[in-house]
Amino acid sequence: MEQYDIAIIGGGGAGLTAALYSARARRRTVVFEGEVTGGQIATTDIVENYPGFPDGINGFDLAQLFHRQAEKFGAETAYERVERLQRQPDGGFELGTAERTIRARAVIVTAGAAYNKLGVPGEAELTGRGVSYCGTCDAAFFTGMDVIVVGGGDSALDEGMFVARYARSVNVVHRRDTLRASAILQERAFATPNMRFTWNSVVERIEGEGQVERAVLRNVKTGEVSVVPISAVFIFIGQTPNNHLLEGLVELDASGHAIVDLQMRTRVPGLFVAGDLRTQAARQLISAAGDGATAAIAAEHYLADLDRQGPTAK
Amino acid sequence: MAEVREVTDATWDSDVLKSDLPVLVDFWAPWCGPCRMVAPIVQELSEEYAGKVNFMKMNTDENPMVPSKFGIRSIPSLLIFKGGELKGTVVGFRPKSDLKKRIDEALV
């Protein structure tokens, strides 16, 4: 069975930074990239708030640079989804994927969060047929068409403005009458000529034969129901932490995020959680990367302590 | 090493529909981040399934006809064809183990 010093679950900003630090500490390191889509950053058109790139940088390109930097120092990549994480009697960990089982002396979980679904009729059936969770991926298919964007946070506006470059009109449907998004994004969105807002409204149903043709909206204040002919529904309504590997192993907060200390340590020795999956995360690339570095340094201290105690304590 | 070749609107019939082997086609575009993450996985699969399945990719920016015929509105999309018929569709980024399962199901 393959034996690593440090296994990292998740290849986003936190995971790849942890891999960089672990590899540079000369620990045998593997990053599992099957759980999240290489990180949420990979689908971001332009990252403008990561220091060092004053003109912004494409999210996928930045993720590739993170990846290359980690591999340069010897981190291995596995495109497998970790389905099982177990602590062993000797204090080490066993990780199972569909293909194999490996062992690691320390584990850093950076599995992040997954985009929420609306959970309305038509959504699942029409996914890939006009229902989308990635504006930068699918906007071009709706050139010159009318579309809806659901949500009121940074992602909804950011992706909505990207979609607006292609679509004839973008109607942002938000269940409240104010946006949660940052001020600069709101300013830009309100100034985007083909973008408009439908406040206090939710999507009740998505309909169409083989592809999205219309959405049924309901005003939550007045109860008024309207049918809007559109070709696509882009959905950005928050995230749910990818915590299933941690259940029963570490303490979770009320929203399902892992409770860690300032060194990203969980209550299980040798098990660390960093990035969007941890409690009270700022959910930014820079803070995820910072978390990853902190966790890797703490993991290195943990392993160094074990090494000092001698091979029997391993 | 098995190569993931480009297929175009023009070569679609001969490369995919009339292929003796089943064909997996990866619909992608240069500006799509998740597509670029799928690419190395498709490359690995093409090596594992060498001689059993052909792996091809189609740039949806340069080839409007085939994607519209199959109603592709989201990329990455992977379509699996056998004997000229569509046997399976995978939309979005999926782990390698999922893709293998879908390919194996489509081959039956």
pLDDT for A22-79, tens place per residue? 999 999 999 998 755 556 787 777 888 899 999 999 888 898 899 999 999 999 999 8
Q: Cβ distance A147 to A126 under 8 Å?
A: no
Cβ-based neighbours of A28, under 8 Å, separated by 6 or more:
A3, A4, A5, A6
- Provide the CA A44 distance to its chain's centre, in angstroms: 11
- Provide the CA A232 distance to its chain's centre, in angstroms: 22
Are β-strands B23-28 and B77-82 bridged in parallel, bridged antiparallel, or unpaired? antiparallel
- Amino acid identity, position A46: I
Q: How far apart are the first and last CA of chain A?
A: 16
Query: Would residue B32 show up in a list of annotated catalytic residues for this protein?
Result: yes
Q: Which residue of B has its CA nearest to A134?
A: B74
Q: Do A211 and B92 touch (CB under 8 A)?
A: no
Q: Which residue of A has its CA nearest to B78?
A: A128
Distance (Å, whole) CA A269 – CA A102? 18
Question: Chain B partners of A38 at a C-beta cutoff of 8 Å?
Answer: 33-34, 37, 93
Are β-strands A225-229 and A214-219 bridged in parallel, bridged antiparallel, or unpaired? antiparallel
| Mean local confidence (pLDDT), A186-202 | 97
Supply the ipTM of this predicted assembly.
Answer: 0.71
Would the pLDDT of B96 be above 90?
no
Phi, psi for A125 (deg, rounded to 5): -60, -35
| Mean local confidence (pLDDT), A243-248 | 95
Question: Chain A partners of B93 at a C-beta cutoff of 8 Å?
Answer: 37-38
Q: Cβ distance A255 to A240 under 8 Å?
A: no
Question: Chain A partners of B61 at a C-beta cutoff of 8 Å?
Answer: 140
Would the pLDDT of A310 be above 80?
no
- Mean pLDDT for chain B overall: 91
Distance (Å, whole) CA A288 – CA A17? 8
pLDDT at A314: 45
Give the closest-approach CA distance of B53 to chain A in angstroms.
20
Find the CB nearest B34 among A42, A129, A211.
A42
| Mean local confidence (pLDDT), A219-233 | 96
Question: Chain B partners of A132 at a C-beta cutoff of 8 Å?
Answer: 73-74
A278: which strand partners? A258
A215: which strand partners? A206, A228
Would the pLDDT of A96 be above 50?
yes
Give the closest-approach CA distance of A305 to chain B in angstroms.
35
pLDDT at B37: 81
- Mean pLDDT for chain A overall: 93
Give per-residue pLDDT as tens, B32-82. Answer: 878 888 888 899 999 999 999 999 999 999 999 999 999 898 899 999 999
